[in-house]
Amino acid sequence: MVILFGGLFLTVFGIGLCGSQSLRDAQWLPCQFVDESIKINSEGHKETAYHHRNAVLQFGFSGDRPIHLDVITFLVIITKVDMRRHVEGGEDTLQCEIRRYSAGGIVMRWPGLASHEHDVWFTCTLTHTEKRFVITTFLRHTPAKEGQEWIEVADRELLVTSAAMVILTRTPSVDVGLARDQTLNCQFEVDHKHPNMTVEWRLQRRGERTKLFSYSSRTGKTEGSGVSVKAIGVGNASLKLPLTSQASEGTYSCSVLIPPVYGSHDITLNIQEPPRVSVNVGSSLSLALGGEQKVVCDAEGYYPLDVTIEWLREPAGSSFLPEILKNVLYSSHRNNKDGTFSLSAFFLLQPGLDDSGYKYTCRVHHQSLRVPIRKSFTLTVSESDTVLWYISVFGFMIVMIALLLWLVPKYLEAKRRSQRKSF
């Protein structure tokens, strides 16, 4: 939807976002309206089909004319509740989606001003593409005819709405290490004071759903912990977790019920602990020709389980891709007391003289790492002492033989001369 309205979007929001990074003064926002149609199938059951339609959120006052006449316009009357004040970042990271909202059969009047029992509801969700926030706003529309639970929306229709409630989270997805403090953000805004509301936190983990906290303003009753009741009074229902562990993983749901509206956001929490990587040799390794060395790379204390360890080999200063060694063996995954894992990758190095100067690198991949961890050493191979001894002895013998070959003729010649003089 941002692509469709890209040029207009930049024109309208460029000034507002370049300096303050805020949508507070924006007049409109391109959206997708995910409309529904219901039909009865051949078996007599209801089926719902979804249709994506171009739409615009326009902020202003009752009686304003649509800015864009060729799409559906949801005119949001500016009230105390304003979704724009919660948006951060540039327009290219923002997605907008509008859907119909059903109160689930609850027929009652919204406690806010100018509301009716036959109001029709929509939700508008703004999502940051880099998961920095998710904001859902409940839009209330009063149709011309009473008793209409469903209204048809024409292609170029103008729907006048007001923002009744906003619920948002700035932590829709959280990656955190072990034994850390973590707060899951949940905020809300309502268009009237002292609403009859219920706030809850639940955790979905491995098929089990657990209630962590609940608060009812009607009864004043509180169950669980981690949320400040005083903070709820000013719209902050954030949950503070105890020190994180593997049991902290799961999907957390923050919900706010103000009949007939129920808003909630899911927050995914993943435990990620990066590995500590070490190699059992230093940055350089010297071996004599014929010698050998077991080289071990240890990745320790990582979570979750999946990790990849590779040994690479390349000439020093080479611009070519390194060779991945094939003769590497792996230990089994070891379970540590804190719930993390460890793994070792090793090989037996039996170098020749041609291997001297090569760089060997242990490369470790894990989902907690933005880039792999690398630990390297450079190999130097020298000829062994035994070989040098044989070369020395052989060279001495050659020298001695050469010396004898030179001296013997001299000796024989001198002897002949001595014999001739004696005659």
> What domains are there in the chain, each with its CATH number?
1-165 (no CATH), 171-271 (2.60.40.10), 276-382 (2.60.40.10)
Nearest to 330 by CA among 358, 307, 359, 301: 307
Show Cβ contacts of residue 397 under 8 Å, excluding neighbours closer than 6 positions: none
Q: 84-88, 148-152, 267-271: lowest mean pLDDT where?
A: 148-152
CA distance 390 to 396: 10
Strand intervals (E) in 66-108: 72-77, 94-101
Beta-bridge mates of residue 361 = 312, 376
**Sheet strands side by side (includes 323-324):** 284-288, 373-382, 358-365, 308-315, 323-324
Mean pLDDT of the chain: 87
DSSP, res 336? P
pLDDT, residue 7, reads: 37
Cα 184 to the center of its chain, rounded Å? 16
Determine which of 292-301, 303-312, 333-342, 407-416 has the lowest per-residue pLDDT on average. 407-416
Whole-structure pTM over 0.75, yes or no?
yes
Of the two residues 252 and 44, the one the predictor is more confident about is: 252
pLDDT greater than 70 at residue 204:
yes
Residue of 35 and 415 predicted with greater confidence:
35
User: pLDDT class for 16, splitting at 50, 70, 90?
Assistant: very low
Q: Of 88, 252, 256, nearest to 182 (Cα)?
A: 252
In this predicted structure, the answer to whether residue 386 has a pLDDT above a threshold of 60 is: no
Give the C-alpha separation, 74 to 160, whole Å: 6
Residues 21, 88 contacting (CB under 8 angstroms) = yes
